Amino acid sequence: MTQSERARGRFVIRSRPEDFVVVEEPLYPASGSGGHLFVEIEKRSRTTEQAVREIARGLGVAPMDVGYAGRKDRHALTRQWLSLPGVEPERALALELEDVRILQAIRHEHKLKTGQLRANRFELCVATDAPFDPAPIEARAAELIRRGMPNRYGEQRFGRAGDNADAARRLFGGRVARRDLRAARFLVSALQSEVFNAVLAERGEGWDEVVVGDLARVEASGGLFWVDDLARELPRARAFEISATGPIFGTKVREPRGEVLALEARVLARHGIPPASELVLPRGLRALGTRRPLRVAPRDLAISPAPDGRGFRLACGLPSGAYVTVLLECLIGDLGEIVDGSRRRETPDEGMDAELSSTSLH
C-alpha cells in the first residue's frame, strides 16, 4: 500500500460472516400445496452450491433437481429459498447440518427457477482503521438515492481469477455436455455481464439520463420503449420514472436506435460478439438476451456510524441482479480502499460461487 493509500484509509468488509448479512426477498410466496417443497435456509460460510449438495444428500434427492433463484455469497450470513421435489415438510425441518438451517418448509406446485426473486436485503458492517467521519458517505448516499447507482456487475461475477468471460469465449463453437450445462450457463452469463459493463462504461457519467435512440425502461411497469422526444423524456429520467438500458446479448434481444445502437455494436464487436442475427451459441445452450437498466435505486438506504466510531453500518435493499459491492464502491470512492476480509480465507475453487446477487443466463 502506498503512503497516499494509507492516508485515505482502509474500509474492511466481511471480517466475519455475521458482518455481511443477505436476506433474499422471494418473487412470490409458496402456495401451500403441490409436489415441490419450498424451504427457506440460513447458511453461514457456505456457498449456495455447497448448501444444495448437503441438503440434497441429507434428504435423498439429486442436486440438479434442487431449484434456487440465485447464488448467495459464501463469506456471509445469508437466507434464501430452495425448492425440493417430493420431500415432506417434516423431514426437511428435521434435517440437521453444520452451518445450514432450514427455517421454513412450504409446499408449492413448481420448481424454483433462477432469477425468481424480487430483491435482496443487505446489512453490512464496514470497519475503518481510524476514527471515521460519516458526513462524506452520507452525502454520497443521498446522491445515490436521487440519481440511482450505476447497475454494473461486481467483480465476483467474473470468478476469483476474473477469467469466467474468457472461459465462455472458449465454449463458442463447441458442444456442452448435459452434466456441464449449469456451469456453462454461468460462464456465458459472465460474458454477457462483461459486455454490459463495457457499454455502461462507454456511457460515461450520463448513466442516469436518456438520449435519443435509447431503449428506455419504465420503472413502474418494466416496459420498454424507444426514446424519440428528448424534451419529453429527459425530465422523466431525472424524476426516476424511466431509465436507459444496456444489452444482455442474445439471439432475440431488442436493440436501441441511431447512435446508441452504433455504440453498442462497437462494444459487442470489440468483445467478439456478432449481431443477434448472426450469434451462434454453444450447442445445448439458449440465450435469448434482454435489456438491463443502466441504473438501479437503492431501497431504504441507511448509513449509521459504528458504535466504536471506526466505520459504519449500511442497510439497504437492492433489486434482483444488483450488487451491494458496487454500491459500496460508489459510497467510498476516493475516500479509501475497500479490503475484503474474507479473501485470506478463500480456497482456489471458490470463484464460481462467490455471488452477491442472482445469476441467470437470459
Active site (catalytic) residues: 73
CA distance 93 to 240: 43
CA–CA dist 277, 132 (Å, integer)? 53
Q: How far is CA 103 from the centre of its chain?
A: 24
∠ CA 131-135-136, nearest 5°, is 100
Q: Of 75, 72, 17, nearest to 41 (Cα)?
A: 72
User: Can you tell me the distance from the alpha carbon of 171 to that of 136, in angstroms, rounded to the nearest whole number?
Assistant: 45
- For 109, other C-beta atoms within 10 Å of its C-beta total 11
Say how many C-beta atoms besides its own lie within 10 A of residue 14's C-beta.
Answer: 22
Residue 233 CA: distances (Å) to CA of 143, 226, 340: 21, 10, 40
